[in-house]
Amino acid sequence: MDNLLSDVLTDVQFTVVYNMLSLGIASMLFTAIFLWVARDRVLPKYRMAVMVSATVTSIAAYHYFRMFDSFNAAYGGTHTPLEAFAHYNVGYRYIDWFLTVPLLLVELVAVLGLAKAIQSSLLKRLVPAAALMIALGYPGDAKLNILGITGEGFASEAAVWGLLSTIPFLYIMYVLWFELKKSLASQSDKVRGLFQTLRVLLIATWGVYPITFILAMNTNGIPSASDVVNREVGYTIADILAKCLFGLIIFSIARIKSAEEDKSHASAEGH
């Protein structure tokens, strides 16, 4: 415990996280602006998917502003590592995920232009599962902040929450890979290829979160300086890929489907 309490962030470590959070703000903000401005470049039936993507990155930009301020106040002052961790509000990140992760699945389904009954059936299962996944993951990642729990049993108790949050994650993957097969059969090769990229991107980026959590987990529940850096850098990179890159691919799919269905639109867009 004494070693952890004396393990403060160096200037380099602080700057790395500071700059990564700044990159997160810029990425989310300007992706959101682009998507809002470009939404009219797709047909009205696919515009909702693009607007949801813009909403996701807008929400994320706001929360990255809050995380940036919270990190600067917690780790940029004279707090001990224990005090800094207690003052840094990791809840901002989970509130962001609680709102944006279900919306990622909404845009994923919306951009396919499925029949309303099929779309409704998918979203009724995917959205609650996504919300449950985030809700179950939060206590394990922020137990010290919300309950003040430290000690030998911290890691094992946190791992239980991590395992519980994996159950809805696996269900989401099942729906996206197996129950969407018939719906994807009617899509063009280009759309199927990009949709496959989106599914792989979800697995790759969502997989970063538990890996980063495990690497930053210790039996005392108090992250060391390197734990803090690994967690914030890992989460931020995953967020940028899962929200900004994901949203831009959604926009690309919407443009392709718009061009396929409306030749005049395709000509105007240079397809």
Look over the chain and give the mean of its residue pLDDT values, rounded to a whole number. Answer: 84
Q: Report the C-alpha gap between 157 and 140 in whole angstroms.
A: 7
Distance of CA 262 to the CA centre of its chain: 33
Q: In the predicted model, is pLDDT for residue 3 greater than 60?
A: no
pLDDT at 93 over 80: yes
More confident of the two residues 231 and 156? 231
Spatial CB neighbours of 158, under 8 Å, sequence gap ≥ 6:
139, 140, 141, 143, 213, 217, 221
Taking alpha carbons only, the member of 91, 237, 194, 86 closest to residue 149 is 86
- Cβ–Cβ under 8 Å, residues 126 and 151: no
Q: Which two tokens stand for residue 139?
A: 């206590």
Long-range contacts of 226-230 (CB under 8 A, 24+ apart): 226/13, 228/9, 228/13, 228/17, 228/75, 228/85, 229/9, 229/13, 229/16, 229/17
User: Residue 120 belongs to what domain range?
Assistant: 2-268
How many residues appear in the chain?
271
What CATH number should be reported for the domain holding residue 180? 1.20.1070.10
Which ranges of the chain would DSSP assign to H, the alpha helix? 2-5, 11-38, 44-75, 81-87, 91-110, 116-147, 154-174, 181-185, 189-215, 225-239, 246-261, 263-268
The larger pLDDT score, comparing residue 204 to residue 102, is at: 102
Cβ pair 237, 208 in contact under 8 A: yes
Q: Please give the tally of structural domains in the chain.
A: 1
Q: How confident is the model at residue 228 (pLDDT cuts 50, 70, 90)?
A: confident
Q: Once rounded to an integer, what is the mean pLDDT over residues 164-181?
A: 88
**What gap in Å lies between CA 53 and CA 55, rounded to an integer?**
5
3-state DSSP assignment of residue 93? helix
- Check whether 112 has a pLDDT greater than 70: yes
